[in-house]
Amino acid sequence: MAYQAFDSGLGSRPFDEGFWSSSVMQAYIPLILFVVATNALSQTLLKQGMVGIGAFTLNPGNALSMAGRVALDPFVIAGMTLMIISMASHLYVLSRVPLTFAFPFISISYIVILGVGYFFFDEKLNFYHYLGTAFIAIGVFCIAQAGAAVRR
């Protein structure tokens, strides 16, 4: 029994060696990297917004005012807007390539955010941050090389 892909505007196509070939899927890597970049940038903007607001304790007495303060922060607004763009782009990607190919690339966001945290937010990193990042990078490289091995 052949599995059917979502209708991507190209018509439904079976998971076969033609449409789901490595070269076809790799053509979507720039769009997947756009998803990664917008995801990482949205998190950076959200963090910057929360740095400006500062740490807070949420309780019934301040919940409404704090929610308003967070919701109206320009960095938070920009971060949320970019997150929506990122999610919409991710949905577009998922309509065209297998989840097992597209989703591991999202892990690249961890690598980007590691650098952002270190360089822009003065976050301290240790050996385990670097080791984990190396494993992520190796894993994403392997997935990119894997192409479309589909069970029938």
Distances (CA, A) of 2 to 5, 14, 60: 10, 6, 54
Residue 107: domain span? 22-146
Residue 27 included in any domain: yes
Residue 57 included in any domain: yes
pTM over 0.95: no
Residue 1 included in any domain: no
Residue 9 included in any domain: no
Sign for the CA dihedral angle at 8, 31, 109, 51 comes to negative
Planar angle of CA 15, 16, 20, nearest 5 degrees: 75
> Residue 143 is encoded by which pair of tokens?
């997935």
Percent pLDDT > 90 in the chain is 54
Residue 91 included in any domain: yes
Q: How many structural domains comprise the chain?
A: 1
Q: Read off the pLDDT of residues 2-41 as tens digits, 9 standing for 90 and up.
A: 444 444 444 444 444 555 566 777 788 899 999 999 999 9
Quick check: helix, strand or coil at residue 71?
Answer: helix
> Does residue 112 have a pLDDT over 50?
yes
pLDDT of residue 68: 93
pLDDT of residue 22: 66
The residue ranking higher by pLDDT, 8 or 142, is 142
Average pLDDT over residues 117-129: 95
Cβ distance 136 to 111 under 8 Å? yes
Residue 65 included in any domain: yes
Residue 15 included in any domain: no
Mean pLDDT score across all residues of the chain: 83
Residue 133 included in any domain: yes
